[in-house]
Amino acid sequence: MGVTTIVAIATAAMQGIAAAVQAWPTIQSIVAEGRDPTPSEQATLDAAADAAHAALQHPATA
Amino acid sequence: MLEILKFADARLREPSTWAGLAVLLGMLHVNVDAGLWHVVTLWGTAGAAGLAILLSEAGSKPGIQVGEDMLAALSAALDAATPPASTAPAHTPVATPAAVATAPTAAALALLLAGAVGLTACSGSGTDQKQALYAVESAYVLVANDEAAAIGTGVVPADAAATMRATDATLYAALVAWRQSVEAGNSAAASAVSGVQTGLQGLVNQLTAAKALSPPALAAADAALSLTAIVIAGG
> How high is the pLDDT of residue B226?
84
> How high is the pLDDT of residue B124?
42
Instruction: Tell me the percentage of chain A whose pLDDT exceeds 90.
Output: 5
pLDDT per residue, tens digit, chain B (235 aa), is 667 777 777 777 766 777 778 777 777 777 766 666 766 776 676 667 666 656 665 665 555 555 555 555 455 444 444 443 333 333 333 334 443 333 444 444 455 555 444 444 444 444 578 888 988 998 999 899 889 888 888 888 899 999 999 999 999 999 999 999 888 887 778 888 889 999 999 999 999 988 888 877 888 888 888 888 888 887 6
Q: How far apart are CA B194 and CA B101, in angstroms?
A: 30
- Average pLDDT on A35-44 reads 86
Provide the residue type at B100 as one letter.
V
> How high is the pLDDT of residue B118?
47
Q: Are A45 and B138 contacting, i.e. CB atoms less than 8 angstroms apart?
A: yes
Q: Are B114 and A17 contacting, i.e. CB atoms less than 8 angstroms apart?
A: no
* Chain B residue numbers touching A54 (CB-CB < 8 A): none
- Say if the Cβ atoms of B131 and A30 lie within 8 Å: yes
Helix (H, G, I), strand (E, B) or coil at B31: coil
Provide the residue type at A47 as one letter.
A
CB < 8 Å from B in window 23-62 of A: 23-32, 34, 36-37, 41-42, 45-46, 48-49, 52-53, 55-57, 59
Site from B137, B203, B206, B228 to mutate, A interface, most A CB atoms within 10 angstroms: B137
By mean pLDDT, which of A2-16, A25-39, B45-59 is the weakest? A2-16
Q: What are residue A36's phi and psi, to 5 degrees?
A: -90, 155
Q: Are B38 and B100 contacting, i.e. CB atoms less than 8 angstroms apart?
A: no
Asked casually if ipTM beats, i.e. exceeds, 0.90, the reply is no
Q: What is the largest CA-CA distance in chain B?
A: 58
* Chain B residue numbers touching A25 (CB-CB < 8 A): 49, 52-53, 56, 113
> How high is the pLDDT of residue B52?
67
> How high is the pLDDT of residue B35?
65
* Chain B residue numbers touching A3 (CB-CB < 8 A): 22-23, 25-27
Give me the residue spans of the domains in chain B: 63-234
Q: How far apart are CA B104 and CA B14, in angstroms?
A: 25
Tell me how close the Cα of B161 comes to any Cα of chain A, in angstroms. Answer: 10
